[in-house]
Amino acid sequence: FNTRKLTYSQQDSAQTLTPESKVISHNNFYEFGTDKTDPKENAQGLKVDPWQLRVDGLVEKPFTLGFEDLFSSFELQERIYRLRCVEAWSMVIPWIGIPLQSLLKRAAPLSKGKYVAFETLYDPEQMPGQRNPFIGGGIDYPYVEGLRLDEAMHPLTILAVGLYGKSLPPQNGAPVRLVVPWKYGFKSIKSIVSIRLVEKQPPTSWNLLAANEYGFYANVNPNVDHPRWSQARERRITKGGLFSSNRIDTQLFNGYDEVAPLYRGMDLKRFY
C-alpha cells in the first residue's frame, strides 16, 4: 500500500507523540480481524482509489467527493489529539484532516437534520471480517456510527485523511475517517463512504452489539466504568517496552473541556 506526502498547516504540541510504528501497527479495525496486528497484516491490499464519499440526507446540497477531492477540496490541517480507546489504552496522534463542519456547511444541512450518520465501506471481497463473522468479531456490517449535529459541528471534530505527514494507511481507516477526540475510539469510524444528515438518533455498531456496554455518546468519562472494567485510568502507549509503560488518570472528555457545554444538564451516567 502506498501512502502519499501531504501538504498541511502544522501544529505544535508539548505532548509526547505515540511513535508512528505503533500508531500503524496497533489497531482495532474488525473488518480485517480482531487482533491488534490483524489490520496491518490484512488490509494492505485495500483499494482506496477510486473512492466515493457521499454526503447527503437532510441537506440542501448533497455532493460526492472522489479520492483526489479528499485531499484538495479543503485546506488540510494538522491536529495532535489524544485517542482514548474504550479498552483503556491511549495514544497521542498527529492527524491531518479537515474540520467536519467545513464539509457539512458545504452540504447546507436542513433544519430537520439533527444527527449525522456515518457508514464504512461494505465490501466483503476486500474485507474478510465482513465475509466471516468469526473473523469480524460478530459485528453486523457495514460498521455504522453517529453523532448529534452539534457534536459533528464542533471545531474539534475532524475527518482525517492522514497521519504523521502522510495519507492514512488502510489499517488506520484510509482514505478518510472520523476523529472525535473526546469520545472513545470506536466512535471514530474508518474508511467512510457515507455521511448522511438524519432526523433521529442513528444506530451505532457497538451499541447494537452490546447496548449495556457501549452507549451512543461514548464520551470518555473516568466516572462511568465499562461494566467489565474500570475507566478511571489508562495506559498511554508511547515508546519503550514493559518498564516504560505509562499509567495515567483518564480525564473527563479526554481532557477536552471545551466540549462540556454540549452536554450541559445531561446525566452522563445515563447517557454513557
Partner 1 sequence: MVSRIHFRPWQILGLKLLIHSLCIGWAGITYYQAVTDQLGGDPVKAILHFTGISAFNLLLMSLCMSPLAKYFRQAQFIRFRRLLGLYAFFYAVLHLLSYLLFELQLEWGMLISEIIKRPYITVGMSAWLILLALSITSTQAMQRKLGRRWQRLHNWIYLAACLIALHYIWSVKSDIVQPALYIAMLAVLLGLRKDKLLKPLQGIWRKISTRA
Q: Which residues bind to partner 1, rule: CB under 8 A? A: 22, 25-26, 30, 34, 36-37, 87, 89, 134, 137-139, 209-210, 225, 228-230, 233, 235, 237, 239-245, 247
Phi-psi region of 165 (alpha: psi -120 to 50; beta: other; left: phi over 0): left
Q: Please report how close the Cβ of residue 97 comes to partner 1 at its closest, in angstroms.
A: 22
State the nearest-atom distance from the C-beta of 68 to partner 1, in Å. Answer: 31
Our CB check for partner 1 shows the closer of 41 and 75 to be: 41
Q: How far is the CB of 37 from partner 1 (least distance, A)?
A: 6
For partner 1, which is the closer residue by CB, 110 or 229?
229
Long-range Cβ contact pairs of 10-14 (< 8 A, separation 24 or more):
10/78, 11/77, 11/78, 11/79, 11/80, 11/94, 13/80, 13/92, 13/94
Residue number, 8 or 29, with CB nearest to partner 1: 29
Residue whose grid cell is 517496552? 241
If one counts every other C-beta atom within 10 angstroms of the C-beta of residue 179, the result is 23
For residue 237, the minimal CB distance to partner 1 (Å) is: 6
Residue 142: which of 200, 81, 181, 192 has the closest Cα? 192
> Reduced to 3 states, what is the DSSP secondary structure of residue 237?
coil
Pick between residue 89 and residue 122 the one whose CB is nearest to partner 1: 89
DSSP 91: E
Considering the complex, state which of residue 9 and residue 244 has its C-beta at the smaller distance from partner 1: 244
Nearer to partner 1, 82 or 196 (CB): 82
Contact 99, 185 (CB under 8 A): no
Distance CA 91, CA 93 (A): 6
**CB 43 to partner 1: min, Å:** 15
| Shortest CB 151 distance to partner 1, Å | 24
